[in-house]
Amino acid sequence: MKKKRTAVVGAGWFGRAHIRNFDNLSELVGICDTNETKLEQLAGQYEGVNTYTSIDDLIKNESIDAVSIVTPPKHIPNIAKKFAQAGIDILMEKPMALKLEDLTSFKEYDNIRIMPGFIELFNPVIDKVLEHLDEIGEIISIASKRVGLYPKRDWDMGVILDLSIHDIYLQEKILGDIKIKNAYGVKKCYKDTIHADAVFIILDFGNSIGQIESNWLTPSKFRRMYVNGEFGGISADFISQQINLRTG
């Protein structure tokens, strides 16, 4: 099957991960960033891949099927609009936007595929959890803990949009068609008065309850989920990729 022709916008530390994987999984034809030094380094690393400092030039000069946008979230909506108007499918790193009106504006692009970078949905450990759900019966509660130190990047957002968001969509995935009825939370802003550094979130799914703890203050990286059902439970470690099934 012919590989998709792709491009990546954003060559920061996380953008480089996208570049590496797009180069492996598709025909990577272009990289765009405003930092020319980074582009020079990448040009030497990825032979035959063209580099650009202008998104307009990238779209004009390359035939692209899909693009991955890995920039600070405040820039994503405007960048995405240019590719959407060119009919190019878009993968956007989460969060796709920082304002609700920017997020809802994506609805007008119904002729292309737009996908958020919800990478944990494709984590093999989640597949293991889903395989054993029937063995623990009706789910009573899910508890998620995702903590560590401050990220290297400065994307003008708090821990909810950086870490908690993963566990929100994962809990929704595990509970299937059951929707969140209400959500409650407590946050602590330490570094500034706007962005949360530590949060506790409660999700009301009706017959099930979700609990999420996230922070940037814990010196040890910790990524776990506990799914508790009427006949047992499943604990999942996202770092070791191991699960523990308890029944009876």
pLDDT digits (tens, 9 = 90+) for 32-74: 999 999 999 999 999 999 999 999 999 999 999 999 999 999 9
The verdict on 33 and 110 lying in the same domain is yes
The verdict on 56 and 75 lying in the same domain is yes
The verdict on 177 and 141 lying in the same domain is yes
3-state secondary structure of 96: coil
pLDDT digits (tens, 9 = 90+) for 131-140: 999 999 999 9
The verdict on 229 and 153 lying in the same domain is yes
The phi and psi torsions of 92 (rounded to 5 degrees) equal -115, 135
The verdict on 72 and 59 lying in the same domain is yes
pLDDT band with cut points at 50, 70 and 90 for residue 190: confident
The verdict on 205 and 103 lying in the same domain is no
Strand ranges inside 2-42, DSSP E:
5-9, 27-32
H/E element holding 167?
Answer: helix 165-175
78: domain CATH number is 3.40.50.720
pLDDT digits (tens, 9 = 90+) for 82-120: 999 999 999 998 888 888 888 888 888 888 999 999 999
Residue that finishes a domain, picked among 98, 117, 136: 117
The verdict on 31 and 105 lying in the same domain is yes
The verdict on 237 and 124 lying in the same domain is yes
Which pTM does this prediction carry?
0.89
- Cα–Cα distance between 184 and 45 in angstroms, integer? 47
Number of domains in the chain: 2
Provide the token pair at 109: 């692009």
Q: pLDDT at residue 219 above 80? A: yes
CB 151 within 8 A of CB 216: yes
